[in-house]
């Protein structure tokens, strides 16, 4: 049997190859599109600092914070008592947490009364404004529950948007009654690179153990290491995968 045939047979009969390939596709999509919005020019944001009603298209999955939801959105139009104008650019909006805000999804179009501005430097001299601009976001704004409403929905099918939805779906699978919340947060950090759910005690435990770098390992790395070990062990006859074992 030729080498190519052996490789094809191994790929088709190894159930972990599919998992690895899926992880590679998702990670490449995220990596290649992570800065797709960074090209947005700041010359078209004459609405900055203007108090008006903004029509926004949510381009990312809303992120739940302690007292609010973080929404990254594309500005579609700006309206005041005198006119309605088409607009462009990205804005980071924080809306007050309530049942209506919790139902927002990627692709929703909302109208919100606000006054976008650039954030000030933090006490530790971190330039958050520069950080937002680097990520293609021109300004940020805040809104209470009474200052916004959902207008419609327009689904987004960019590679990054699809990858985000797949990642969110995988994260939900970890919310299993058989998996403790702490273990689920660690699994999510290792396989999806999402460390937002790690509690302070877990972070401290990894720091004190000198193993914080482990949480920086992505699912892709874990998959590659696993397949290399699997290939070495099976190649030397030290271990037989479960799917190849025969039971009487």
SS3 206: helix
On the question of pLDDT at 111 being above 80, the answer is yes
CA distance 61 to 52: 24
Q: What mean pLDDT do residues 179-190 have?
A: 79
Question: What is the maximal distance between C-alpha atoms in the chain?
Answer: 82
Q: What mean pLDDT do residues 135-155 have?
A: 93
pLDDT score, position 247 = 40
Cross-strand bridge partners of residue 191: none
The per-residue pLDDT for range 123-133, each reduced to its tens digit, is 566 777 777 87
> Computed from CA positions of residues 65, 166, 130, 203, in that sequence, does the dihedral angle turn out positive or negative?
positive
In Å, what is the CA distance from 237 to each residue of 4, 9, 73? 22, 18, 54
Q: 111 near 151, Cβ under 8 Å?
A: yes
On the question of pLDDT at 42 being above 50, the answer is no
pLDDT band at 248; cut points 50, 70, 90: very low
Ramachandran area for residue 193 (φ above 0: left; ψ -120 to 50: alpha; else beta): left
The model's pTM: 0.64
More confident residue, 56 or 6: 56
CA distance 129 to 115: 16
Cross-strand bridge partners of residue 77: 55, 86
pLDDT score, position 212 = 67
pLDDT score, position 41 = 42
Q: How many CB atoms lie within 10 A of CB 37?
A: 18
Within 34-109, residue ranges assigned H as helices are: 99-102
What is the residue-averaged pLDDT of the chain?
A: 76
Q: What mean pLDDT do residues 96-106 have?
A: 95
């Amino acid at each position: 049997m030729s080498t190519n045939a052996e490789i094809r047979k191994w790929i088709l009969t190894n159930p972990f190859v599919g998992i690895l390939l899926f992880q590679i596709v998702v990670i490449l999509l995220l990596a290649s599109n992570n800065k797709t919005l960074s090209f947005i020019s700041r010359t078209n944001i004459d609405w900055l600092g203007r108090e008006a009603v903004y029509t926004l298209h949510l381009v990312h999955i809303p992120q739940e914070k302690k007292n609010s939801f973080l929404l990254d959105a594309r500005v579609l139009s700006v309206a005041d008592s005198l006119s309605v104008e088409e607009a462009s650019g990205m804005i980071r909006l924080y809306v007050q947490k309530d049942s209506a805000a919790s139902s927002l999804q990627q692709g929703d179009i909302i109208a919100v009364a606000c006054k976008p501005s650039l954030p000030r430097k933090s006490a530790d001299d971190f330039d958050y404004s520069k950080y937002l601009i680097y990520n293609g976001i021109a300004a940020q704004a805040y809104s209470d529950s009474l200052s916004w409403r959902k207008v419609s929905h327009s689904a987004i099918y960019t590679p990054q948007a699809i990858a985000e939805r797949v990642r969110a779906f995988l994260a939900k699978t970890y919310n299993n009654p058989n998996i403790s919340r702490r273990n689920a947060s660690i699994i999510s950090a290792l396989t999806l690179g999402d460390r937002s759910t790690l509690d302070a005690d877990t972070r401290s435990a990894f720091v004190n153990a000198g193993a914080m770098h482990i949480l920086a390992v992505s699912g892709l790395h874990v998959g590659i290491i696993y397949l290399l070990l699997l290939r070495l062990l099976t190649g030397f006859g030290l271990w037989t995968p479960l799917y190849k074992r025969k039971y009487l």
